[in-house]
Amino acid sequence: MNEVIRTQLNHRTIRKFKTTPVGPELLELILDVANKTASAMCLQHFSILRITDPGLKSKIADISGQAYIADMPELFVFLVDLYRNSLIAKEAGLDTYLNSMHSFLSASSDALLAAQNVNLAAESLGMGGVFLGSPLWKIEEFIEVLDLPMYTFPILAYGFGYPDEEPRMKPRMAGEFKFFENKYPALNGIKDNLKDYDREMGTYVDLRNPGKPLRPFTEQVAQLSTLLNSKQPRMMEALKKQGFCVEDRD
């Protein structure tokens, strides 16, 4: 056990923040951490759009349907970014740059590794935050409101600041159901095998919402599946519109 792992194991989502701003030196440090994160072939296919304009933040809160976003001290949108290097390629006289689904996924990995590093850096500095999936849920709206160039794609957002709440950690499924050796197992009777976890999740109390206990995990899965299936965003269209090739080359 050490300070890094202690910080990692202590992760919890923070949605309510003190008004204390994040100082410029700490911001610079956090961005430096993002910059030093591993990147596939060091092509650095990601960018961060920091949202400071209150009007823009409000719009993002509206689009996301999460009012508290408007009050977040810091809001970073992580972009998959093949645009910057496509400009370099163009200046070098090349007609096209990488825009396949493979390049998109590889660039997503650059962006998301950096996102977790930013999250942990913030937590190590006594801050907390929340990853926002709303860029993907509202992909067309996000691309429009952020006025993003081709070959960029908002894959995840992260809001952070100094916590003004202290939630309990949400229980996770035991490792035996997630971490396997050499062969992915059959997972027969998974619902039954998750009984303990179901019970644990059912007794978890979110201190921000103490009157509303969570449903057992396997019930959440079924419920969310039904709820979310009908709300899937038009992801392929959005990818295509941003210039990513959504078909394999022959």
Single out the residue of 53, 51, 43, 117 nearest to residue 80, CA to CA.
43
165 binds a second copy (CB under 8 A): no
The residue from 73, 202, 235, 241 that contacts a second copy (CB under 8 A) is: 235
**Taking CA 249 as the corner, what is the angle to CA 244 and CA 250, rounded to the nearest 5 degrees?**
160
Interacting stretch for a second copy, rule CB under 8 A, among 15-23, 50-58, 61-69, 159-167?
A: 50-58
CA dist 225 and 190 (Å) reads 17
Residue 242 contacts a second copy per CB under 8 A: no
Amino acid residing at 178: K
Contact status: 37 vs a second copy (CB under 8 A): yes
State the DSSP H helix or E strand holding residue 132, giving kind and residue range, or none if neither.
strand 128-132
CB of 95 to a second copy, least distance (A): 10
Helix (H) or strand (E) holding 233: none
Q: Which of 43, 73, 140, 206 binds a second copy (CB under 8 A)?
A: 43
Please report, as residue ranges, which positions from 181 to 210 form the binding site for a second copy (by CB under 8 A). Answer: 181-184, 187, 190-191, 194
By the rule CB under 8 A, 145 interacts with a second copy: no
Please pick, from the candidates 61, 74, 119, 243, the single residue that binds a second copy as defined by CB under 8 A. Answer: 119
| Structural Rg of the chain based on CA atoms | 20
